[in-house]
Amino acid sequence: MADAAPPSESLSEDGGKRRDFLVLAAGAMGGMATVAVVWPLIETMNPSADVLALASTEVDLSAIEEGQTIVVKWRGRPVFVRHRTADEIAAAQAASLDELSDPQPDSERAPQAQWLIVEGVCTHLGCVPLGSKLGDPRGEFGGWFCPCHGSHYDTSGRIRKGPAPANLPVPTYEFLDDTLVRIG
């Protein structure tokens, strides 16, 4: 490159501009090539096709008695299915939206009032809240209590107290018949 040394007059005028353009163009191509290499490297870390394929789980509700909660595994994480008692439904529906930090009416979260289906993963840092088994602490609102950092959820799985920012998420599900539900 250096030995090409053109006459000095043309270097300062046209030659300088031409070289600037070449540097810019080469730099831009190099930048694009870098992005093109880094992109797939990052993408490899996303969930792979076989992980994505484990999308749905079917649950038979007939064996769940009133007041009982079962825990099923969906996408590697727990889902709570609770057969709510009349009192629990009443408590969930009675809560005024003003006192909720993530306001959502119970009717939206549990279209069939006796069945509450929520993901059993605390929205704070991902622990599994207690309250599904008999004798578990259920927190101050009768739903679930997360032992890790002390979040309290109500009988609609809504956050009422503690560091968690959001309600327990409701997964997409549909009732295939009266006692069979497909989650996912």
What is the binding site for other proteins (CB under 8 A)?
Answer: 42, 45-48, 51, 71, 73, 75-78, 120-121, 123-128, 130, 146-150, 162-165
Q: Are strands 115-119 and 57-60 parallel, antiparallel or unpaired?
A: unpaired
State the nearest-atom distance from the C-beta of 1 to other proteins, in Å: 30
In the complex with other proteins, the residue whose CB is nearer, 29 or 38, is 38
Q: To the nearest whole angstrom, how small is the minimum distance from the Cβ of residue 167 to other proteins?
A: 14
Cα dist from 6 to 16, 17, 118, whole Å = 11, 14, 75
Question: Which residues touch 77 (CB under 8 Å, ≥6 apart)?
Answer: 119, 120, 121
Q: Which is nearer to other proteins, 23 or 51 (CB)?
A: 51
3-state SS, 98-123, equals: HHCCCCCCHHHHCCCCCEEEEECCCC
Nearer to other proteins, 12 or 48 (CB): 48
Catalytic member of 83, 124, 149, 152: 149
Q: Is 152 a catalytic residue?
A: no
**Catalytic positions, please?**
149
